[in-house]
């Protein structure tokens, strides 16, 4: 197949994967039917022969003298047993299963790769971190946070899907391979607990075993300085695998270390989360994501208000839009019911085939990045009549010119589970940014439409301005990115919080400086 990696960066891929698995279920059903028939046939032969032995050959009557008995016995030994023992049916059934599987894998562009699995595991760990989810409850299929010693429900799924020891092993291994022992310890701990609970029962689908989990967990504890725990886990491992020389060597090393550097009874090393690129704003970011939209600011600041807004434009006179001013510096407003349900759905549909892994500016180029996990598509006005209508509506509301090249095409974004966009600016912060390729200046404003709701998570957080906006289906968020003197407004630093549960779609219209001269006067005053 041509696709090297599909990256499960949008929920669309999850939907495609469901249909892939349905085909595999059908294949397996056929395989099980054929294999059951094969075993039935073998059992029939077994019953026939063993009955003969108990009834004919061992009876008091001398049936050996019967030439038919002699003939059938000789025939069985000369031919029937050979045919049975060397039957190809088992291989044929396996072969049919395998080639069916390979066909599905070949034909489906969205068959998940190792990279997708690793990306999904990282997504789970991201949700764990940003929403302070307790791993133990996550493993039981629940979304709970520890708050002052109490477990509180963040989200109650209709059906909870518990994870297996092997599921946890995989997540732990992804962390382990990144030398992220903070996460590997927690996930492998759950894996070992679940594998132990399964009592060594073998499952053909598993990738890891209790031994593998113990091995990785012991080493993770060693790396984080917990040598005595590493030792006891390794001793348990050696019980299962007494000939493992590497493990016995580790045990010797751990014992030596414990003698040379006996741990202090009070020493309790708190594991630290691995560093991230946005460490300085991490606490604020996570707090804003967790407290989505519960800002008391409205009642505290009388200059924030809601009204029916027409911007004196004839097109809005009969249907004023409900405007909610969320912040004055930076100036952020939410326009409720900006788009209708059916318009939002149509835009998703039109964008679907064009969705590609989202990129970010990286020097003069664009590149994919862990800090932006989503898929996006650019829609020209010609892609669907709705897009032109939206452009007109944006102009009516903002008075800004959104015709190309004074604004970019509409960017439609779909996040996957755990999809996010860490704190960033929409405007260019360096003169070599690819954003200047339109030759119409920087991105002066952002008009972002929420094309869907979400079940949990996914707020838009303004880090320095210290507030977050929950996803409000069909609403649009507007803010200025630049001061009137053209300088970037540092207070617009914002983020798309990870989607905890749901299928989040947004559409961005980025409006550039040029073409707006009569609507937004320049000012040398850096305060404006």
Chain positions contacting ligand AKG, by CB under 6 A: 413, 421, 426, 460, 494, 496, 506, 508
Q: How far is it, in rounded angstroms, from Cα 172 to Cα 135?
A: 11
Torsion angles phi and psi, residue 325, rounded to 5: -85, 115
Minimum Å gap between C-beta 506 and ligand AKG is 5
For residues 347 and 448, which CB has a smaller minimum distance to Fe ion in the complex? Answer: 448
Q: In what order do the strands lie in the sheet with 375-379?
A: 306-309, 321-327, 332-336, 476-480, 443-450, 505-512, 410-414, 375-379, 356-357
For residues 441 and 496, which CB has a smaller minimum distance to Fe ion in the complex? Answer: 496
For residues 274 and 434, which CB has a smaller minimum distance to Fe ion in the complex? Answer: 434
For residues 251 and 463, which CB has a smaller minimum distance to ligand AKG in the complex? Answer: 463
508 binds, among ligand AKG, Fe ion, none (CB under 5 to 8 A by kind): ligand AKG
Q: How far is it, in rounded angstroms, from Cα 446 to Cα 432?
A: 20
Binding-site size for Fe ion (CB under 5 A) equals 1
DSSP annotation string for 156-200: --SS--PPPHHHHHHHHHHHHHTT-HHHHHHHHHHHHHHHHHTTT
Minimum Å gap between C-beta 416 and Fe ion is 18
Q: Is there a contact between 470 and 450 (Cβ–Cβ < 8 Å)?
A: no
For residues 355 and 361, which CB has a smaller minimum distance to Fe ion in the complex? Answer: 361
Minimum Å gap between C-beta 497 and Fe ion is 12
For residues 324 and 426, which CB has a smaller minimum distance to ligand AKG in the complex? Answer: 426
Q: Is there a contact between 174 and 122 (Cβ–Cβ < 8 Å)?
A: yes
210 binds, among Fe ion, ligand AKG, none (CB under 5 to 8 A by kind): none
Which of 190, 426, 491, 513 is in the footprint of Fe ion by CB under 5 A? Answer: 426
Q: How far is it, in rounded angstroms, from Cα 54 to Cα 87?
A: 26
Candidate ranges 165-173, 199-207, 258-266, 421-429; the one touching Fe ion (CB under 5 A): 421-429
- Interacting residues with Fe ion between 122 and 151 (CB under 5 A): none
Residue nearest to Fe ion (CB): 426
Minimum Å gap between C-beta 508 and ligand AKG is 5
Cβ-proximal residues to 217 (8 Å cutoff; 6+ apart), any chain: 172, 184, 185, 188, 189, 191, 192, 233
Q: Is there a contact between 215 and 247 (Cβ–Cβ < 8 Å)?
A: yes
Q: With left for phi above 0 and alpha for psi between -120 and 50, is residue 7 left, alpha or beta?
A: left
413 binds, among Fe ion, ligand AKG, none (CB under 5 to 8 A by kind): ligand AKG
Q: Is there a contact between 488 and 425 (Cβ–Cβ < 8 Å)?
A: yes
10 binds, among ligand AKG, Fe ion, none (CB under 5 to 8 A by kind): none
Q: Is there a contact between 497 and 449 (Cβ–Cβ < 8 Å)?
A: no
Minimum Å gap between C-beta 494 and Fe ion is 6
For residues 237 and 506, which CB has a smaller minimum distance to ligand AKG in the complex? Answer: 506
Minimum Å gap between C-beta 454 and Fe ion is 17
Among 302, 340, 304, 303, CA closest to 321: 340
Minimum Å gap between C-beta 284 and ligand AKG is 16
496 binds, among Fe ion, ligand AKG, none (CB under 5 to 8 A by kind): ligand AKG
For residues 282 and 494, which CB has a smaller minimum distance to ligand AKG in the complex? Answer: 494
294-316: b (≥16 Cβ within 10 Å) or e: ebeeeeeeeebeeeebbeeeeeb
190 binds, among ligand AKG, Fe ion, none (CB under 5 to 8 A by kind): none
For residues 227 and 413, which CB has a smaller minimum distance to Fe ion in the complex? Answer: 413
3-state SS, 210-248, equals HHHHHHHHHHHHHHCCCHHHHHHHHHHHHHHCCCCHHHH
Place of tokens 């077994």: 46
460 binds, among Fe ion, ligand AKG, none (CB under 5 to 8 A by kind): ligand AKG
Q: Give contact residues for Fe ion (rule: CB under 5 A).
A: 426
């Amino acid at each position: 197949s041509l696709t090297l990696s599909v990256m499960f960066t949008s929920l669309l891929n999850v939907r495609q994967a469901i249909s892939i698995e349905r085909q595999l279920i059908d294949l397996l059903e056929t395989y099980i039917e054929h294999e059951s028939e094969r075993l039935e046939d073998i059992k029939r032969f077994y019953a026939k022969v063993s009955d003969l032995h108990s009834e004919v050959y061992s009876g008091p009557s001398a049936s050996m003298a019967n030439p038919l008995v002699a003939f059938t016995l000789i025939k069985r030994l000369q031919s029937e047993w050979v045919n049975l023992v060397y039957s190809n049916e088992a291989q044929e059934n396996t072969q049919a299963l395998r080639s069916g599987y390979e066909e599905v894998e070949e034909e489906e562009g969205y068959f998940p790769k190792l990279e997708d699995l690793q990306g999904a595991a990282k997504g789970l760990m991201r949700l764990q971190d940003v929403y302070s989810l307790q791993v133990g409850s996550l493993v039981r299929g629940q979304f709970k946070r520890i708050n002052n010693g109490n477990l509180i429900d963040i989200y109650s799924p209709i059906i909870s899907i518990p994870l297996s020891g092997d599921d946890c092993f995989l997540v732990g291994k992804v962390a382990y391979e990144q030398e992220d022992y903070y996460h590997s310890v927690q996930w492998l701990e759950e894996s070992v607990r679940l594998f132990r609970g399964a009592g060594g029962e073998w499952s053909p689908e598993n990738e890891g075993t209790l031994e593998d989990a113990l091995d990785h967990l012991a080493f993770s504890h060693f790396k984080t300085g917990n040598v005595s725990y590493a030792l006891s886990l390794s001793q348990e491992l050696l019980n299962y695998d007494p000939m493992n020389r590497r493990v016995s060597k580790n045990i010797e090393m751990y014992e030596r270390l414990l003698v040379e550097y006996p741990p202090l009874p009070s020493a309790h090393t708190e594991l630290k989360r691995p560093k991230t690129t946005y460490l300085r704003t991490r606490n604020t970011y996570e707090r804003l994501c967790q407290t989505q939209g519960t800002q008391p600011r409205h009642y505290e600041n009388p200059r924030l208000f809601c009204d029916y807004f027409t911007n004196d434009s004839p097109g809005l006179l009969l249907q004023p839009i409900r405007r909610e001013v969320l912040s004055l510096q930076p100036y952020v407003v939410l326009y409720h019911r900006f788009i209708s349900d059916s318009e939002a759905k149509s835009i998703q549909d039109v964008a679907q085939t064009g969705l590609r892994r989202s990129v970010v500016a990286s020097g003069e180029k664009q590149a994919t990045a862990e800090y932006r996990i989503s898929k996006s598509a650019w829609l020209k006005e010609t892609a669907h009549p709705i897009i032109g209508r939206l452009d007109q509506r944006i102009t009516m509301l903002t008075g800004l010119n959104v015709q190309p090249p004074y604004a970019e095409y509409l960017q439609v974004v779909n996040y996957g589970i755990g999809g996010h966009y860490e704190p960033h600016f929409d405007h260019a912060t360096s003169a070599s940014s690819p954003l200047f390729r339109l030759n119409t200046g920087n991105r002066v404003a952002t008009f972002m439409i929420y094309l869907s709701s979400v079940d949990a998570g996914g707020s838009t957080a303004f880090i320095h301005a210290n507030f977050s906006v929950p996803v409000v289906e069909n609403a649009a968020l507007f803010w200025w990115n630049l001061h009137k003197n053209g300088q970037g407004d540092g207070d617009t630093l914002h983020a798309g919080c990870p989607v905890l549960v749901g299928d989040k779609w947004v559409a961005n219209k980025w409006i550039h400086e040029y073409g707006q001269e009569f609507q937004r006067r320049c000012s040398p005053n850096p305060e404006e």
